[in-house]
Amino acid sequence: MSALLTWTSALPVLIILSSLIPGLLIFATPEHARTRRTVLNLTGIVVKLILVGLMLRGVSQGLEFRFELNFLPLAPLVLHGDALSLQFITLSSILWLATTIYAIGYLEGSPLRSRFFGYFSLCVSATVGLALAGNLVTFLLFYELLTLSTFPLVVHRGTPAALRAGRVYLAYTLGGGALLLMGIALLHALIATPDFVPGGYLLQHIDNYSLGFQVAFVLMIAGLGVKAALIPLHSWLPQAMVAPAPVSALLHAVAVVKAGAFGIIRVVYDVYGVEASTLLSLTQPLLWLAAATMIYASVRALQQQDIKRRLAFSTVSQVSYITLGVALAGPVAAVGAIVHLVHQGLMKVTLFFCAGNFAETLGIHKVQEMDGLGKRMPWTMAAFSVGALGMIGVPPIAGFISKMYLGMGALEVDQPWVVLVLAGSALLNAAYFLPLLYRGWFGKPPAKGWKEDNFYGQRFETHWMLLIPALFTAVLSILVGVFAGSIFSPLGWSELIVSREFVQ
Amino acid sequence: MSAMQLYTIVGAAIFLLALHGLLMTTDSIRRLIAVNLMGAGTFLIMIALAARISPPDPVLHALVVTGLVVAISATALALRLITSAAIAQHSQDSENKGDGDLSEDVKP
Amino acid sequence: MSGLVVIVAWIFMIAGTVFFVTGALGLLRFPDVYSRLHAVTKTDTLGLGLLTLGLALKSGSPGTALLLFVIWLLVLASGAVNCQLLARYNLELEARAADTDELNRQGGNHDV
Amino acid sequence: MTFELMPDIILSTLLLLMAWGALYAPTRHDAMALFVAFGLVVALIWARLGAPDLALAEAAIGAGLTGVLLLQAARLLPAESASTEHRPLWFRSSLLFLLVTTAMFASMILNNNSLQLAGSGISANVTADSASLPEMVAAAMGDSGVGHPVTAVLLNFRAWDTLLELLVLLLALTGVRQLYPGVNRNQQAVANTIEQTWPLLLAWARFLAPLLVLTGGYLLWRGADGAGGAFQAGAMLAAAAVILRLTGLLPGLSWSSLLLRLAVNIGALVFLSVALATLMFGDGWLVYPVQWAGALIVAIEVFATLSIAVTLSLLVVGEPEELSA
Amino acid sequence: MTYALVSLSVPLFCALLLTLAGPKLDSRHAGQIAIVCSALSLVAAWFALMQMAELNQTILLELGGWESGLAIRLRLNPLSSLLLLFTAFMHVLIGVYAAFSRQGVSRDFWPLSSFLHGSLAALWLSADLFNLYITLELLGLTAVAMVALAGKKAYKPAANYLILSLVASLFYLLGVALIYGRYGSLDVVLLSLQTQSDLLTRIALLIMTAGLMLKAALWPLHLWLPAAHANAPTAVSALLSGLVVKGPLFILFLLWSEVAPVDLAQQIGPVLAIAGMIALVAGGLSAMRSPYIKTLVAYSTVAQLGYAMMALGLLLTWQLPQMHVALWLFVIAHGLAKATLFLAAGEMQATLGTKRISGLRGATQTVPVAMFAFAVAGGSLIGLPPSGGFLAKWVLLQPLLSEPQNWPWAFGVLLGTLVSAAYIFRVVAISFDRARINPPDIRPDRVGHWLALLPALMVWGMALTGDWLIQLLAGSSV
Query: What is the count of residue pairs from A and E with beta carbons less than 8 Å apart?
Result: 94
Q: Could you tell me the CA-to-CA distances from E389 to E242, E329, E465 in Å, in that order?
A: 14, 8, 13
User: Based on the number of CB atoms within 10 Å of its own CB, is A280 exposed (0-12), middle (13-18) or buried (19 or more)?
Assistant: middle
Closest CB from A137, A155, A175 relative to E432: A155
Does an interface of 3+ CB pairs under 8 Å exist between C and D? yes
Exposed e or buried b per residue across B35-74, where buried means at least 16 C-beta atoms within 10 angstroms of its C-beta: bbbbbbbbbbbbbbbbbbbeebbbbbbbbbbbbbbbbbbb
Nearest CB among E130, E140, E173 relative to B42 is that of E173
pLDDT at D190: 46
User: Which uninterrupted H or E stretch holds A79?
Assistant: strand A75-81
| Largest interatomic CA distance in chain D | 68
Q: Residue B108: what pLDDT?
A: 40
Q: In this predicted structure, what is the pLDDT of residue A441?
A: 87
Q: Is the Cβ of A184 closer than 8 Å to some Cβ of chain E?
A: no
Is B44–D42 a contact, with Cβ atoms under 8 angstroms apart?
yes
DSSP codes of every residue in C61-89: -HHHHHHHHHHHHHHHHHHHHHHHHHHHH
Interface mutation target, options E7, E59, E63, E110, chain D, most CBs of D under 10 Å? E63
Quote the Cα angle for B8-B13-B19, to 5°: 130
B86 has a pLDDT exceeding 80:
yes
- Give the separation between CA A428 and CA A389, rounded to whole angstroms: 12
Residue of D nearest to C88 (CA): D198
Q: Does D196 touch chain C (CB under 8 A)?
A: no
C residues 2-61 closer than 8 Å to D (CB): none
- Minimal-distance CA residue of chain B relative to E167: B35
Domain-embedded: residue C7: yes
- Chain B contact for E148 (CB, 8 A cutoff): yes
Contacts of B31 in chain E (CB under 8 A): 163
Q: D246-265 pLDDT, tens per residue?
A: 887 877 777 888 888 899 99
Q: Which stretches of chain D drop beneath a pLDDT of 50?
A: 120-129, 184-193
Question: For residue D35, is it within any domain?
Answer: no
**pLDDT given at position C112:** 44
For residue A396, say if its preceding peptide bond is cis, omega within 30 degrees of 0.
Answer: yes
Which of A73, A77, A160 is facing E435, going by the closest CB pair?
A160
Give the pLDDT confidence of A265-296 residue by residue, as tens digits: 999 888 888 888 888 888 889 999 999 999 99
- What SS3 string covers chain B? CCHHHHHHHHHHHHHHHHHHHHHHCCCHHHHHHHHHHHHHHHHHHHHHHHCCCCCCCHHHHHHHHHHHHHHHHHHHHHHHHHHHHHHHHHHHHHHHHHHCCCCCCCCC
Hey, is the C-beta of C73 within 8 angstroms of any chain D C-beta?
Answer: no
Chain C nearest C-alpha distance from D198 (Å): 9
Domain coordinates of chain A in residue numbers? Answer: 293-504
* Any domain includes D89: no
Task: Say what the pLDDT of residue E143 is.
Answer: 94
Is the CB of B62 less than 8 angstroms away from the CB of D150?
yes
pLDDT at E33: 92
Contact between D55 and D41 (Cβ < 8 Å): no
Please name the member of A160, A166, A182 whose beta carbon is closest to the beta carbon of E414.
A182
Decide if D77 is inside a domain: no
pLDDT of residue D182: 62
User: Which amino acid, residue B13?
Assistant: A
H helices within chain D, ranges in order? Answer: 6-24, 28-48, 52-57, 66-76, 89-111, 133-140, 149-152, 159-177, 199-222, 230-246, 258-280, 293-317, 320-323
Q: Does D207 touch chain C (CB under 8 A)?
A: yes
Residue of D nearest to C86 (CA): D201
Q: Residue A1: what pLDDT? A: 43
Chains that contact D by 3+ CB pairs under 8 Å?
A: B, C, E
Q: Which of residues 8-37 of B touch E (CB under 8 A)?
A: 15, 19, 22, 28, 31-32, 35
Q: What is the pLDDT of residues A94-109, one digit of tens each?
A: 888 999 888 888 888 7
Give the separation between CA D73 and CA E285, rounded to whole angstroms. Answer: 40
Neighboring chain E residues of B49 at a CB cutoff of 8 Å: 177, 180-181
Pick out chain E residues at pLDDT < 50.
478
Confidence category of residue A220, pLDDT binned at 50, 70, 90: very high
Query: Cβ separation of C85 and D201 shorter than 8 Å?
Result: yes
Q: Which of D126, D161, D272 is opposite residue E16, by nearest beta carbon?
A: D272
Asked whether the beta carbons of residue B29 and residue D74 sit closer than 8 angstroms, the reply is yes
Contacts of E72 in chain D (CB under 8 A): 158, 160-161
Instruction: Nearest chain E residue to A147 by CA: give it.
Output: E384
D184 within some domain: yes
Domain that residue C66 falls in? 2-107
Q: Give E356's contacts in chain B (Cβ within 8 Å).
A: 105-106
Q: Does A74 touch chain E (CB under 8 A)?
A: no
Instruction: Compute the residue count for chain E.
Output: 478
CA torsion sign, E257 to E260 to E262 to E263? negative
Of the candidates B15, B35, B73, the beta carbon closest to that of E163 is on B35
Please provide the average confidence, as pLDDT, over all residues in chain A: 86
Cα–Cα distance between D225 and D147 in angstroms, integer?
4
Interface test with D, best of C27, C81, C90, C91 (most D CBs within 10 A): C81
Which residue type does C110 have?
A: H
Q: What are phi and psi of B100, to 5 degrees?
A: 70, 170
Contacts of E156 in chain D (CB under 8 A): none
| Phi, psi at D197, each rounded to 5° | -70, 135
User: Interior CA angle at B82 toward B21 and B24, to 5°?
Assistant: 15
Contacts for E132 with CB less than 8 Å, ≥ 6 apart: E123, E126, E251, E254
| Phi/psi of residue E264, nearest 5 degrees | -65, -45
- For residue C93, the model assigns a pLDDT of 84
Q: Which chains touch B (3 or more CB pairs under 8 A)?
A: D, E
Does residue B97 carry a pLDDT above 80?
no
Name the residue of chain D whose CA is nearest to C89's CA: D198
| Best to test chain B binding among E131, E162, E166, E207 (most B CBs inside 10 Å) | E166
User: Is E185 part of the contact surface with chain B (CB cutoff 8 Å)?
Assistant: no
Name the residue of chain C whose CA is nearest to D204's CA: C81
Residue of chain D minimizing CA distance to C78: D204
Is D24 among the domain residues? no
Closest CA to E390 of A247, C102, A77: A77
The residue segments making up the domain with residue D163 are: 145-325
d(CA A340, CA A319): 8
Looking at the complex, does the CB of residue D1 fall below 8 Å from at least one CB of chain C?
no
Answer whether E177 touches B (CB < 8 Å).
Answer: yes
Phi/psi at A207 (nearest 5 deg)? -75, -40
Chains in contact with chain A (at least 3 beta-carbon pairs closer than 8 A): E
Q: Where do the structural domains in chain B lie, given as residue ranges?
A: 3-97
Give the number of other Cβ atoms within 10 Å of residue A39's Cβ: 13
pLDDT tens for B28-78 read 888 999 999 999 999 999 999 988 888 888 899 999 999 999 999 999 999
Total domains in chain C come to 1
**Looking at CA atoms only, how far is residue E154 from chain B in angstroms?**
8
Tens-place pLDDT, residues D107-138: 877 777 777 766 544 444 444 345 678 888 88
pLDDT confidence of B103, banded at 50, 70, 90?
A: very low
The verdict on a CB contact (< 8 Å) between E12 and D159 is no
Q: Which E residues, 364 through 383, put their C-beta within 8 Å of a C-beta on chain B? A: none
Which fold, B3-97?
Helix Hairpins (1.10.287)
CA distance B33 to chain E (A): 10
Helix locations, A110-196, DSSP H = 113-132, 136-154, 160-191
Q: 10 Å Cβ neighbour count for D46?
A: 29
Checking if the pLDDT of A172 tops 80, the result is yes
Domain boundaries, chain E: 1-127, 232-475
Under DSSP, the state recorded for E221 is G
Predicted pLDDT at D78: 75
Contact between chains at A141 and E470 (C-beta distance less than 8 A): no
On chain E, the residues whose CB falls within 8 A of the CB of D121 are: none
Residue stretches of chain C with pLDDT short of 70: 1, 107-112
The DSSP output letter for D252 is: P
Q: Does D171 touch chain B (CB under 8 A)?
A: yes
Q: Computed from CA positions of residues C55, C57, C61, C66, in that sequence, does the dihedral angle turn out positive or negative? A: positive
Instruction: Indicate whether C50 belongs to any domain.
Output: yes
At E11, which amino acid appears? P
CA-to-CA separations, C92 to C80, C95, E346, in angstroms, rounded:
19, 5, 53
CA distance B79 to D168: 16
Cβ contacts of B106 within 8 Å, gap of 6 or more: E354, E356, E358, E359, E438
Percentage, residues of chain A above pLDDT 90: 18
| Of B49, B57, B74, Cβ closest to residue D115 | B49
